[in-house]
Amino acid sequence: MDQPGPLDGLVVLDLATLFAGPLAATILGDFGADVIKVEHPAKGDPSRTHGPAKDGHGLWWKMLGRNKRAVTCDLSGEEGAALLRGLVAGADVLIENFRPGTLERWGLGPEVLHTLNPRLVIARVTGFGQFGPYSRRPGFGTLAESMSGFAASTGEPDGPPTLPPFGLADGISALVCVNAVLMALRHRDLSGTGQVCDLAIIEPLVTLLGPQPMIWDQLGTVQERTGNRSVNNAPRNTYRTRDGRWVAVSTSAQNIAERVLTLVGHPEVIGEPWFAGGAGRARHSDLLDGYVGDWIAARDADEVVRAFEEAQAAVAPVYDIRDVFTDPQYTALDTITTVDDPDLGPLRMQNVLFRLSATPGSIRSTGPALGAHNTEVWGGLLGLSDEELDRLHAKGVI
């Protein structure tokens, strides 16, 4: 029997879609929360059909819907809204990402929900937040990656701004949402009252830009695209080995930079005044990249990694997902774990985010079929009869 997680007993209503809100709910579910996924009866969460599928089963949904109970409900009608209000009375957290004003139009705004349950924590995850001139625009992670400054500073100097090939802004926003929910729950435990968490997906990436806002404010400088180089230190880049593989080198710490240049046969630069700090080394990236790149290009990847490890310098091979599956460190951590899926059998996916010694998280189920838990939730929690469930289903309410 699974050991209870740290969030065991917490009831989370996941009303969100694509992708930040649902992923936040997934993480809460991984650590024991009872997550009830509420989807439109005809449409469902678009992630069910987003990306590749096997035998008609969306693979993204299998991960994003894990550890959730799936129910259907058309929230735009009064009968559907009444069902949700019934769930809210016994819930701890509600996560939604409708455009601002939508829940209010359906009679499900925070004022109504907090009247039903003053302890409810409501997380509202939208592209641009609940107010401001863009608040009612449709918002997606791609727009956040574009508007935050991330894309403008990513890519080769003579190339276009570069977007990530996966949901970076959504993923980071999901992690931020989890933090916001846990902070609000802590406040609730102290005060007895819930609150609204307003998360705009365009904001977390701005925080991760580091000093860029202050550099512009104080120095009037905009960070340009530098490829895989860093404006803060050098050598820092990806380098191709003799056998055609790639490795990444980082020298954020001064002692690591000294070890790397000693290893590649150029200890003479360590005594240069400009070498004493990361900014000075970054101004000499061409020289340092040449030294490191030439040394690496003359050796196979395994030899390069072994030599760097012996020198206690920082290097890593550039992996694709096949390498993640076979790397011994990832294997030891069980980062990619195997879960039994009723449709696909043994299914390998990302494990829970971190390990807690006393109350570890777990994957108890993969993403369920649309409405798989309607009887269990609407009947078991709200006491609806089979006849009433049949009636609601026939009307398209569930």
Residues annotated as catalytic are: 170
Nearest to 304 by CA among 389, 226, 245, 391: 245
Scanning the chain, the segments in alpha helix (DSSP H) are 20-30, 59-64, 78-88, 102-105, 110-116, 141-147, 168-191, 204-207, 212-219, 254-263, 278-282, 285-297, 301-310, 321-326, 328-333, 374, 386-395
Write out the E strands in 127-211. Answer: 196-200
* CA–CA gap between residue 341 and residue 328 (Å, rounded): 25
Q: Provide the b/e sequence for 49-74 (b: ≥16 CB within 10 Å).
A: ebeeeeeebbbbbbbbbbbbbbbbbb
Question: Which structure tokens are listed for 189?
Answer: 């435990």
Q: Which residue has the tokens 């809460």?
A: 28
Asked if 69 contacts 34 with a C-beta cutoff of 8 angstroms, the reply is yes
Q: DSSP for 44-84?
A: --GGGSSS-EETTEEHHHHHHTTTEEEEE--TTSHHHHHHH
Tell me how far apart the alpha carbons of residues 352 and 361 are, in angstroms, rounded to a whole number.
6
Give bridge partners of residue 121 from the DSSP assignment. 93
Count CB-CB contacts under 10 A for residue 283: 14
In the numeric block, which tokens belong to residue 120? 């409810």
246: nearest Cα among 180, 173, 307, 320? 320
Distance CA 143, CA 152 (A): 12
Q: Which one, of 40, 32, 47, 34, lies nearest residue 15 by Cα? A: 40
